[in-house]
Protein backbone atom coordinates (compact mmCIF):
# COMPACT_ATOMS: atom_id res chain seq x y z
CA UNK A 1 0.00 0.00 0.00
CA UNK A 2 2.85 2.37 0.84
CA UNK A 3 4.15 2.11 -2.75
CA UNK A 4 1.04 3.85 -4.06
CA UNK A 5 1.45 7.49 -4.88
CA UNK A 6 -1.62 9.71 -4.87
CA UNK A 7 -1.32 12.75 -7.13
CA UNK A 8 -4.11 15.29 -6.91
CA UNK A 9 -5.26 17.18 -9.98
CA UNK A 10 -6.39 20.41 -8.39
CA UNK A 11 -9.48 21.70 -10.14
CA UNK A 12 -11.64 22.96 -7.30
CA UNK A 13 -14.85 20.98 -6.93
CA UNK A 14 -13.76 18.78 -9.86
CA UNK A 15 -10.41 17.83 -8.30
CA UNK A 16 -9.51 14.16 -8.43
CA UNK A 17 -6.74 11.75 -7.48
CA UNK A 18 -4.45 9.77 -9.71
CA UNK A 19 -3.36 6.64 -7.84
CA UNK A 20 -0.07 5.43 -9.26
CA UNK A 21 1.92 2.24 -8.63
CA UNK A 22 1.72 -1.53 -8.28
CA UNK A 23 -1.38 -2.42 -6.24
CA UNK A 24 -3.29 0.80 -7.02
CA UNK A 25 -6.43 -1.20 -7.88
CA UNK A 26 -6.52 -2.82 -4.45
CA UNK A 27 -5.88 0.54 -2.80
CA UNK A 28 -8.81 2.11 -4.67
CA UNK A 29 -11.36 -0.63 -3.94
CA UNK A 30 -12.94 1.11 -0.97
CA UNK A 31 -13.51 4.30 -3.02
CA UNK A 32 -15.78 2.74 -5.65
CA UNK A 33 -19.18 2.41 -3.98
CA UNK A 34 -20.25 6.04 -4.26
CA UNK A 35 -19.80 6.01 -8.03
CA UNK A 36 -22.01 3.00 -8.68
CA UNK A 37 -25.27 3.33 -6.72
CA UNK A 38 -27.03 0.67 -8.81
CA UNK A 39 -24.53 -2.03 -7.87
CA UNK A 40 -23.30 -2.44 -11.44
CA UNK A 41 -20.28 -0.90 -13.09
CA UNK A 42 -20.42 -0.35 -16.83
CA UNK A 43 -16.88 -0.92 -18.00
CA UNK A 44 -15.60 -0.08 -21.49
CA UNK A 45 -12.56 -1.93 -22.76
CA UNK A 46 -11.03 -3.40 -25.91
CA UNK A 47 -10.87 -7.06 -26.95
CA UNK A 48 -7.14 -7.40 -26.20
CA UNK A 49 -7.39 -5.87 -22.74
CA UNK A 50 -10.55 -7.87 -22.02
CA UNK A 51 -8.68 -11.11 -22.78
CA UNK A 52 -5.86 -10.13 -20.44
CA UNK A 53 -7.43 -8.22 -17.57
CA UNK A 54 -11.24 -8.31 -17.58
CA UNK A 55 -11.44 -11.21 -15.14
CA UNK A 56 -9.08 -9.54 -12.66
CA UNK A 57 -11.00 -6.28 -12.87
CA UNK A 58 -14.40 -8.00 -12.62
CA UNK A 59 -13.21 -9.90 -9.52
CA UNK A 60 -11.90 -6.63 -8.10
CA UNK A 61 -15.31 -5.01 -8.65
CA UNK A 62 -17.01 -8.00 -7.09
CA UNK A 63 -14.76 -7.52 -4.05
CA UNK A 64 -16.28 -4.05 -3.78
CA UNK A 65 -19.81 -5.50 -4.00
CA UNK A 66 -20.27 -4.49 -7.66
CA UNK A 67 -21.17 -6.41 -10.81
CA UNK A 68 -19.13 -5.67 -13.95
CA UNK A 69 -21.21 -4.86 -17.04
CA UNK A 70 -18.58 -4.88 -19.82
CA UNK A 71 -18.73 -3.26 -23.26
CA UNK A 72 -15.93 -4.74 -25.37
CA UNK A 73 -14.74 -2.76 -28.42
CA UNK A 74 -12.21 -3.52 -31.16
CA UNK A 75 -8.65 -2.37 -30.37
CA UNK A 76 -7.04 0.35 -32.51
CA UNK A 77 -7.49 3.96 -33.60
CA UNK A 78 -10.42 3.08 -35.91
CA UNK A 79 -12.54 2.66 -32.78
CA UNK A 80 -11.77 6.28 -31.81
CA UNK A 81 -14.05 7.58 -34.58
CA UNK A 82 -17.54 8.94 -35.25
CA UNK A 83 -18.78 5.38 -35.81
CA UNK A 84 -17.08 4.16 -32.63
CA UNK A 85 -18.57 7.04 -30.65
CA UNK A 86 -22.08 6.42 -31.94
CA UNK A 87 -21.83 2.72 -31.19
CA UNK A 88 -20.59 3.37 -27.65
CA UNK A 89 -23.16 6.07 -26.81
CA UNK A 90 -25.98 3.89 -28.18
CA UNK A 91 -24.73 0.95 -26.12
CA UNK A 92 -24.62 3.07 -22.95
CA UNK A 93 -28.19 4.16 -23.63
CA UNK A 94 -29.23 0.55 -24.38
CA UNK A 95 -27.87 -0.36 -20.95
CA UNK A 96 -30.02 2.42 -19.51
CA UNK A 97 -27.15 4.31 -17.96
CA UNK A 98 -28.30 6.83 -15.36
CA UNK A 99 -26.67 10.14 -14.50
CA UNK A 100 -25.96 8.84 -11.01
CA UNK A 101 -23.57 6.15 -12.24
CA UNK A 102 -20.04 6.37 -13.58
CA UNK A 103 -18.51 4.53 -16.55
CA UNK A 104 -15.11 2.86 -16.27
CA UNK A 105 -12.58 3.16 -19.11
CA UNK A 106 -10.27 0.13 -18.90
CA UNK A 107 -7.60 0.31 -21.58
CA UNK A 108 -5.13 2.53 -23.39
CA UNK A 109 -5.55 6.05 -24.71
CA UNK A 110 -7.99 4.97 -27.41
CA UNK A 111 -10.46 3.54 -24.88
CA UNK A 112 -9.87 6.41 -22.44
CA UNK A 113 -10.37 9.19 -25.02
CA UNK A 114 -13.45 7.56 -26.55
CA UNK A 115 -15.10 6.58 -23.27
CA UNK A 116 -14.45 10.01 -21.78
CA UNK A 117 -16.09 11.61 -24.81
CA UNK A 118 -19.10 9.27 -24.69
CA UNK A 119 -19.44 9.87 -20.94
CA UNK A 120 -19.37 13.63 -21.49
CA UNK A 121 -22.36 13.57 -23.87
CA UNK A 122 -24.52 10.58 -22.88
CA UNK A 123 -27.58 12.01 -21.11
CA UNK A 124 -25.67 15.34 -21.18
CA UNK A 125 -22.86 13.93 -19.11
CA UNK A 126 -22.11 11.13 -16.70
CA UNK A 127 -19.02 10.58 -14.56
CA UNK A 128 -16.16 8.35 -15.62
CA UNK A 129 -13.21 6.63 -14.00
CA UNK A 130 -9.98 5.86 -15.83
CA UNK A 131 -8.15 2.57 -15.34
CA UNK A 132 -5.30 3.03 -17.83
CA UNK A 133 -3.56 -0.15 -18.99
CA UNK A 134 -0.80 1.16 -21.28
CA UNK A 135 2.26 3.08 -20.16
CA UNK A 136 1.14 5.94 -22.39
CA UNK A 137 -2.28 6.13 -20.80
CA UNK A 138 -0.87 5.84 -17.28
CA UNK A 139 1.55 8.76 -17.71
CA UNK A 140 -0.48 10.98 -20.00
CA UNK A 141 -3.87 10.32 -21.56
CA UNK A 142 -5.79 9.28 -18.42
CA UNK A 143 -4.90 12.57 -16.72
CA UNK A 144 -6.26 15.95 -17.74
CA UNK A 145 -9.70 15.32 -19.18
CA UNK A 146 -9.00 15.72 -22.90
CA UNK A 147 -11.45 13.38 -24.62
CA UNK A 148 -12.10 12.93 -28.30
CA UNK A 149 -12.15 11.09 -31.58
CA UNK A 150 -10.20 11.33 -34.83
CA UNK A 151 -11.92 12.54 -38.02
CA UNK A 152 -10.73 12.72 -41.62
CA UNK A 153 -9.39 16.18 -40.70
CA UNK A 154 -6.98 14.76 -38.16
CA UNK A 155 -6.29 13.50 -34.66
CA UNK A 156 -8.70 14.45 -31.86
CA UNK A 157 -10.52 17.00 -34.02
CA UNK A 158 -13.78 16.52 -32.15
CA UNK A 159 -13.96 16.16 -28.39
CA UNK A 160 -14.61 17.70 -25.02
CA UNK A 161 -12.86 18.52 -21.78
CA UNK A 162 -14.41 16.14 -19.27
CA UNK A 163 -12.37 15.28 -16.20
CA UNK A 164 -12.45 11.77 -14.72
CA UNK A 165 -13.51 11.38 -11.10
CA UNK A 166 -10.62 9.05 -10.31
CA UNK A 167 -7.62 7.58 -12.15
CA UNK A 168 -6.23 4.22 -11.07
CA UNK A 169 -2.87 3.62 -12.75
CA UNK A 170 -1.84 0.19 -11.51
CA UNK A 171 1.66 -0.75 -12.70
CA UNK A 172 0.76 -4.46 -12.42
CA UNK A 173 -1.50 -4.06 -15.47
CA UNK A 174 1.55 -3.17 -17.55
CA UNK A 175 3.16 -6.61 -17.16
CA UNK A 176 1.37 -7.83 -20.30
CA UNK A 177 2.25 -4.79 -22.41
CA UNK A 178 4.33 -5.53 -25.55
CA UNK A 179 7.72 -3.80 -25.74
CA UNK A 180 6.64 -1.65 -28.68
CA UNK A 181 3.76 -0.21 -26.63
CA UNK A 182 6.01 0.29 -23.61
CA UNK A 183 8.45 2.26 -25.75
CA UNK A 184 5.62 4.33 -27.27
CA UNK A 185 4.44 5.30 -23.78
CA UNK A 186 7.97 6.12 -22.73
CA UNK A 187 8.05 8.80 -25.47
CA UNK A 188 5.47 10.84 -23.52
CA UNK A 189 7.65 10.60 -20.39
CA UNK A 190 10.63 11.89 -22.39
CA UNK A 191 8.33 14.64 -23.68
CA UNK A 192 7.47 15.76 -20.15
CA UNK A 193 11.15 15.91 -19.22
CA UNK A 194 12.01 17.87 -22.36
CA UNK A 195 9.26 20.41 -21.70
CA UNK A 196 10.23 21.37 -18.20
CA UNK A 197 12.26 18.86 -16.16
CA UNK A 198 15.90 18.76 -17.24
CA UNK A 199 17.02 16.78 -14.15
CA UNK A 200 14.48 14.07 -15.09
CA UNK A 201 15.95 13.93 -18.60
CA UNK A 202 19.46 13.64 -17.10
CA UNK A 203 18.31 10.68 -14.98
CA UNK A 204 16.60 8.97 -17.92
CA UNK A 205 19.67 9.50 -20.09
CA UNK A 206 21.94 8.04 -17.41
CA UNK A 207 19.70 4.96 -17.12
CA UNK A 208 19.70 4.51 -20.95
CA UNK A 209 17.61 1.46 -21.99
CA UNK A 210 17.02 0.42 -18.35
CA UNK A 211 14.84 3.54 -18.05
CA UNK A 212 12.06 1.42 -19.57
CA UNK A 213 11.51 -0.69 -16.49
CA UNK A 214 12.19 -1.18 -12.80
CA UNK A 215 12.74 1.57 -10.28
CA UNK A 216 13.80 4.18 -12.85
CA UNK A 217 10.54 3.74 -14.74
CA UNK A 218 8.38 3.90 -11.58
CA UNK A 219 10.05 7.16 -10.59
CA UNK A 220 9.71 8.55 -14.10
CA UNK A 221 6.00 7.61 -14.24
CA UNK A 222 5.41 9.41 -10.93
CA UNK A 223 7.34 12.47 -12.15
CA UNK A 224 5.47 12.60 -15.47
CA UNK A 225 2.04 12.27 -13.81
CA UNK A 226 2.87 14.98 -11.25
CA UNK A 227 4.17 17.23 -14.03
CA UNK A 228 1.01 16.82 -16.10
CA UNK A 229 -1.25 17.27 -13.06
CA UNK A 230 0.45 20.62 -12.30
CA UNK A 231 0.00 21.92 -15.85
CA UNK A 232 -3.63 20.78 -16.07
CA UNK A 233 -4.44 22.42 -12.73
CA UNK A 234 -2.89 25.65 -14.01
CA UNK A 235 -4.54 25.66 -17.43
CA UNK A 236 -7.28 23.06 -17.81
CA UNK A 237 -8.56 24.22 -21.20
CA UNK A 238 -5.25 25.00 -22.90
CA UNK A 239 -5.44 28.77 -22.93
CA UNK A 240 -1.68 28.94 -22.28
CA UNK A 241 0.76 26.59 -20.53
CA UNK A 242 -1.10 23.39 -21.39
CA UNK A 243 -0.16 23.80 -25.04
CA UNK A 244 3.40 22.91 -23.98
CA UNK A 245 2.14 19.31 -23.53
CA UNK A 246 1.93 19.32 -27.31
CA UNK A 247 5.73 19.30 -27.71
CA UNK A 248 6.43 16.99 -30.69
CA UNK A 249 2.70 16.69 -31.47
CA UNK A 250 2.32 19.22 -34.29
CA UNK A 251 4.69 17.04 -36.33
CA UNK A 252 3.49 13.82 -34.66
CA UNK A 253 -0.20 14.34 -35.38
CA UNK A 254 0.65 15.17 -39.01
CA UNK A 255 2.52 11.84 -39.29
CA UNK A 256 -0.38 9.96 -37.71
CA UNK A 257 -2.90 11.60 -40.02
CA UNK A 258 -0.80 10.81 -43.11
CA UNK A 259 0.18 7.22 -42.26
CA UNK A 260 -2.08 4.23 -42.87
CA UNK A 261 -4.26 3.64 -39.78
CA UNK A 262 -2.42 1.89 -36.93
CA UNK A 263 0.88 1.67 -38.88
CA UNK A 264 2.63 3.90 -36.36
CA UNK A 265 1.91 4.27 -32.66
CA UNK A 266 1.01 7.71 -31.25
CA UNK A 267 4.11 7.63 -29.03
CA UNK A 268 6.34 6.80 -31.99
CA UNK A 269 4.96 9.74 -33.97
CA UNK A 270 5.57 11.94 -30.91
CA UNK A 271 9.16 10.66 -30.60
CA UNK A 272 9.88 11.58 -34.23
CA UNK A 273 8.15 14.91 -33.55
CA UNK A 274 10.32 15.59 -30.50
CA UNK A 275 13.44 15.09 -32.60
CA UNK A 276 12.03 17.47 -35.23
CA UNK A 277 10.95 20.10 -32.70
CA UNK A 278 14.48 20.16 -31.28
CA UNK A 279 16.01 20.04 -34.78
CA UNK A 280 13.88 22.97 -35.92
CA UNK A 281 14.73 24.88 -32.72
CA UNK A 282 18.43 24.46 -33.58
CA UNK A 283 17.72 25.41 -37.21
CA UNK A 284 16.12 28.66 -35.99
CA UNK A 285 19.14 29.41 -33.79
CA UNK A 286 17.12 29.03 -30.59
CA UNK A 287 18.63 25.88 -29.06
CA UNK A 288 22.16 24.46 -28.73
CA UNK A 289 22.83 21.69 -31.28
CA UNK A 290 24.22 19.50 -28.48
CA UNK A 291 20.84 19.38 -26.74
CA UNK A 292 19.08 18.25 -29.92
CA UNK A 293 21.72 15.54 -30.40
CA UNK A 294 21.20 14.33 -26.82
CA UNK A 295 17.46 14.08 -27.47
CA UNK A 296 17.95 11.99 -30.62
CA UNK A 297 20.56 9.77 -28.97
CA UNK A 298 18.25 9.06 -26.03
CA UNK A 299 15.30 8.25 -28.28
CA UNK A 300 17.52 5.77 -30.16
CA UNK A 301 18.75 4.24 -26.89
CA UNK A 302 15.11 3.68 -25.89
CA UNK A 303 14.37 1.95 -29.21
CA UNK A 304 12.20 4.84 -30.40
CA UNK A 305 12.28 6.67 -33.76
CA UNK A 306 14.72 9.60 -33.68
CA UNK A 307 13.17 11.27 -36.71
CA UNK A 308 10.81 10.60 -39.61
CA UNK A 309 13.14 8.20 -41.42
CA UNK A 310 13.01 5.70 -38.57
CA UNK A 311 9.21 5.58 -38.32
CA UNK A 312 7.53 2.36 -39.49
CA UNK A 313 6.18 4.19 -42.54
CA UNK A 314 8.03 5.98 -45.32
CA UNK A 315 7.16 8.11 -48.33
CA UNK A 316 6.33 11.28 -46.36
CA UNK A 317 5.59 14.40 -48.36
CA UNK A 318 6.66 17.70 -46.77
CA UNK A 319 3.88 19.68 -48.43
CA UNK A 320 1.16 17.29 -47.23
CA UNK A 321 2.60 17.34 -43.71
CA UNK A 322 2.58 21.15 -43.70
CA UNK A 323 -1.01 21.04 -44.91
CA UNK A 324 -1.89 18.91 -41.88
CA UNK A 325 -0.02 21.31 -39.60
CA UNK A 326 -2.06 24.23 -40.96
CA UNK A 327 -5.08 22.54 -39.33
CA UNK A 328 -3.43 22.18 -35.91
CA UNK A 329 -5.65 23.16 -32.95
CA UNK A 330 -2.96 25.46 -31.48
CA UNK A 331 -2.87 27.74 -34.54
CA UNK A 332 -4.10 31.32 -34.40
CA UNK A 333 -4.73 33.86 -37.15
CA UNK A 334 -3.93 31.25 -39.77
CA UNK A 335 -0.33 30.79 -38.56
CA UNK A 336 1.24 27.49 -37.57
CA UNK A 337 2.11 27.38 -33.88
CA UNK A 338 4.88 25.04 -32.77
CA UNK A 339 6.18 24.05 -29.38
CA UNK A 340 9.93 24.64 -29.65
CA UNK A 341 12.72 24.62 -27.07
CA UNK A 342 15.57 26.85 -25.96
CA UNK A 343 17.17 23.71 -24.56
CA UNK A 344 16.27 20.50 -22.73
CA UNK A 345 13.57 21.36 -20.17
CA UNK A 346 12.89 24.78 -21.72
CA UNK A 347 9.96 24.42 -24.10
CA UNK A 348 7.92 27.40 -25.25
CA UNK A 349 5.16 28.18 -27.76
CA UNK A 350 6.47 29.72 -30.95
CA UNK A 351 3.90 31.46 -33.14
CA UNK A 352 6.48 32.83 -35.51
CA UNK A 353 6.62 30.04 -38.10
CA UNK A 354 7.79 30.82 -41.61
CA UNK A 355 6.12 28.06 -43.64
CA UNK A 356 8.68 28.14 -46.45
CA UNK A 357 11.49 27.77 -43.96
CA UNK A 358 9.60 24.95 -42.20
CA UNK A 359 9.02 23.16 -45.50
CA UNK A 360 12.72 23.39 -46.45
CA UNK A 361 13.69 22.11 -43.01
CA UNK A 362 11.23 19.20 -43.30
CA UNK A 363 12.51 18.29 -46.76
CA UNK A 364 16.04 17.96 -45.36
CA UNK A 365 14.74 15.67 -42.62
CA UNK A 366 12.65 13.47 -44.90
CA UNK A 367 15.29 12.67 -47.52
Ligand X SMILES: O=C(O)C(=O)C[C@@H](O)[C@H](O)[C@H](O)COP(=O)(O)O
Burial 188-221 (b: 16+ CB within 10 A, else e): bbbbbbbbbbeebbebbbebeeebbeeebbbbbb
133 or 281: whose CB is closer to ligand NAD?
133
What are the residue numbers of the active site? 124, 146, 188, 228, 238, 242, 246, 249, 253, 266
Among 86, 99, 158, 91, which residue's Cα sits nearest to residue 128?
99
Residue 291 within binding range of ligand NAD, rule CB under 6 A: no
3-state DSSP assignment of residue 120: helix
Residue 254 within binding range of ligand NAD, rule CB under 6 A: no
- The Cα–Cα gap between 202 and 135 comes to 20
Residue 324 within binding range of ligand NAD, rule CB under 6 A: no
Shortest distance, position 51 Cβ to ligand X, whole Å: 26
Annotated binding residue 146: yes
Shortest distance, position 270 Cβ to ligand X, whole Å: 7
Question: Residue 341 pairs with which residues in a beta bridge?
Answer: 347
Residue 146 within binding range of ligand NAD, rule CB under 6 A: yes
- The Cα–Cα gap between 267 and 141 comes to 11
* Helix or strand (DSSP H, E) at 339: strand 338-341
Residue 107 within binding range of ligand NAD, rule CB under 6 A: yes
CB 18 within 8 Å of CB 2: no
Q: Which residues bind ligand X (CB under 6 A)?
A: 140, 144, 146, 155-156, 188, 238, 242, 245-246, 249, 329
- The Cα–Cα gap between 82 and 88 comes to 10
Residue 244's binding partner out of ligand NAD, ligand X, none, with CB under 5 to 8 Å set by partner kind: none
Residue 216 within binding range of ligand NAD, rule CB under 6 A: no
Annotated binding residue 21: no
Shortest distance, position 175 Cβ to ligand X, whole Å: 24
Residue 22 within binding range of ligand NAD, rule CB under 6 A: no
266 or 283: whose CB is closer to ligand NAD?
266
Binding to ligand NAD in span 37-96, by CB under 6 A = 46, 48-49, 52, 75, 77, 80
What is the DSSP secondary structure assignment for residue 126, as one 8-state letter? -
Annotated binding residue 266: yes
Q: Where are the alpha helices (DSSP H) in the chain?
A: 24-28, 47-63, 82-94, 109-121, 135-136, 179-196, 198-207, 214-234, 249-258, 266-283, 289-301, 318-326, 355-366
Residue 184 within binding range of ligand NAD, rule CB under 6 A: yes
Residue 48's binding partner out of ligand X, ligand NAD, none, with CB under 5 to 8 Å set by partner kind: ligand NAD
Shortest distance, position 333 Cβ to ligand X, whole Å: 18
Shortest distance, position 237 Cβ to ligand X, whole Å: 10
Annotated binding residue 151: no
Shortest distance, position 154 Cβ to ligand X, whole Å: 8
With 0-12 / 13-18 / 19 or more C-beta atoms within 10 angstroms meaning exposed / middle / buried, residue 285 is exposed
Residue 75's binding partner out of ligand NAD, ligand X, none, with CB under 5 to 8 Å set by partner kind: ligand NAD
Among 44, 114, 47, which residue's Cα sits nearest to residue 79?
114
| Parallel, antiparallel or unpaired: strands 67-73 and 149-151 | unpaired
- The Cα–Cα gap between 367 and 364 comes to 6
Residue 4's binding partner out of ligand X, ligand NAD, none, with CB under 5 to 8 Å set by partner kind: none
Annotated binding residue 153: no
Say how many Å lie between the first and final Cα of the chain, rounded: 52
CB 290 within 8 Å of CB 335: no
Binding residues for NAD(+): 109-113, 133-134, 146, 155
Binding residues: 109-113, 133-134, 146, 155, 188, 249, 266
Binding residues for Zn(2+): 188, 249, 266
The footprint of ligand NAD (CB under 6 A) covers 46, 48-49, 52, 75, 77, 80, 107-111, 113, 133-134, 136-137, 140-141, 144, 146, 155-156, 173-174, 176-177, 181, 184, 265-267
Amino acid sequence: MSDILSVSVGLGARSYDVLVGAGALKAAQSRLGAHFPRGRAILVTDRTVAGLHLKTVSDWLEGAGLRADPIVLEPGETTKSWAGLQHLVDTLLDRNIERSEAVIALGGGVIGDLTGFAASIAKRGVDFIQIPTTLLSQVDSSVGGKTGINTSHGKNFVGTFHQPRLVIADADLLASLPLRERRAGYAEIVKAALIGDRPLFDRLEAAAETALDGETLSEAVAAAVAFKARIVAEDEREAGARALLNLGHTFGHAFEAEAPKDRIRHGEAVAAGLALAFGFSVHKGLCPAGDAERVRAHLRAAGLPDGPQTLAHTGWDAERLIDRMRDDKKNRDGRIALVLARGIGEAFIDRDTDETDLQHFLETQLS
